[in-house]
Amino acid sequence: MATSMNTLVFLLACGVMLSVLAPSSADFLTDEFKKWVTEHRVKYKSKAETLKRFGIFKANYLFINESNHNPKVDFKLGLNKFADMTNKEFLAKFTGYTPLTTKPAPTSFRYADTTAPSSIDWRTLGAVNAVKDQGQCGCDGGLQDSAFKWVIKNGGIDSEEDYAYTAQNGTCDATKTKRYIASITGYEDVPSFNETALMNAVANQPVTVSIDASGLFFQFYSSGIFRGPCGLNLDHAVTVVGYGGSGTFGKYWIVRNSWGTTWGEEGYIRMWKDSGLPTGLCGIALDSSYPLLN
């Protein structure tokens, strides 16, 4: 039979023991799992592992489907590369930022009196590098990145082309890079519990924030303005590279994540701004800082 032949070819090609999956009622999800496994080139070591992952995939699939059909949820989830992981496994691997328990004394806030524009997007201003895939590390590194580009932009080299040009001149590259990063002379904190202060800071430069990235909604975020649910357990460092929108439900922070470009909106998430929570959504207004540059 052609079908079983195809299945066999598939199993051989992928080295996955999907034949152990029960047919009948779960047929549809079995097919979805096979598609996902093929697309993501996943290989499991054993029957037991395959079955376990299929179980998790099914639960995640149904969760995503329910959410996407729920009229009360206006952002979309997607069956991304994390679809065979429980949220607990996911958090252990892809978050892990630990905020300082003893915070340094509050610094001065130089953007207190900024008149912020109604929207800004540092990506279009050439100040943000491409989204990286952090792999299994909860730290972002985004601040260094965006700060670096920001220095390039504002420190005399005035376009990205010039930067590529400089980099192509081999020998100068490494030393120049080091010199620019070294020009970060310190950090200032954004006052907490104040999204206006955060907006003022972001109006001037990308800002590193800590958020609670836990929950399946965050794990499978795909597009739209994310509204949670999420808590205040700050476990993930990301970079706010802009904001925009209008109205009670339309305003958002543009947040650069580090889980690759297949997650969210090309690696970014728009998070509800001015949600009414003093902490900001997912604690986004609790622990923010920006580099000082010279």
Ligand X SMILES: *[C@@H]1O[C@H](CO)[C@@H](O)[C@H](O)[C@H]1NC(C)=O
Report DSSP letters for 213-249, one per residue: --SHHHHTEEESEE-----S---EEEEEEEEE--STT
From the list 253, 255, 271, 245, the residue with the least C-alpha distance to 146 is: 255
Q: Is 65 a binder of ligand X (CB under 6 A)? A: yes
Residue 58 beta carbon to ligand X: minimum distance, rounded to whole angstroms: 9
Task: State which of residues 120, 128, 197, 281 lies at the interface with ligand X (CB under 6 A).
Answer: 197
Among 31, 39, 66, 158, binds ligand X (CB under 6 A): 66
Using the minimum distance from each CB to ligand X, give the nearer residue, 28 or 294.
28
Q: According to the binding rule CB under 6 A, does residue 62 interact with ligand X?
A: yes
* Chain centroid to CA 255: 7
Tokens coding 173: 């590259």
**Contact string (CB under 6 A) for ligand X, positions 238-267, x = contact:** ------------------------------
Question: Smallest Cα–Cα separation from 141: which of 239, 260, 263?
Answer: 239
Separation of CA 94 from chain center: 10
Any contact of residue 169 with ligand X (CB under 6 A)? yes
What is the closest distance, in whole angstroms, from the C-beta atom of residue 28 to ligand X in the complex? 6
Q: What is the β-pairing status of strands 225-226 and 268-272?
A: parallel
Interface with ligand X: number of residues (CB under 6 A): 12
Single out the residue of 20, 59, 130, 172 in contact with ligand X (rule: CB under 6 A): 172
Q: CB under 6 A: which stretch of 17-25, 117-125, 191-199, 258-266 binds ligand X? A: 191-199
Any contact of residue 194 with ligand X (CB under 6 A)?
yes
CB-nearer residue toward ligand X: 48 or 112 = 112
The DSSP string of 167-217 is HHSTHHHHHHHHHHHHTEEEEEEEPSS-HHHHHHHHHHS-EEEEE---SHH
Which H or E run contains 61? helix 47-69
Report the nearest approach of ligand X to the CB of residue 194 (Å). 4
Q: Which stretch binds ligand X (CB under 6 A): 3-11, 62-70, 228-236, 268-276?
A: 62-70
Could you identify the residue written with the tokens 């357990």?
233
Measured from the CB atom, the residue of 11 and 73 that comes closer to ligand X is: 73
Task: Kindly identify the residues of this chain, within the stretch 92-151, that bind ligand X according to CB under 6 A.
Answer: 112
Tokens of 19: 């034949």
- Among the candidate windows 5-13, 58-66, 128-136, 255-263, which touches ligand X by CB under 6 A? 58-66
- Out of 3, 15, 41, 69, name the contact with ligand X by CB under 6 A: 69
Residues that bind ligand X (CB under 6 A): 28, 62, 65-66, 69, 112, 169, 172, 194, 196-197, 200
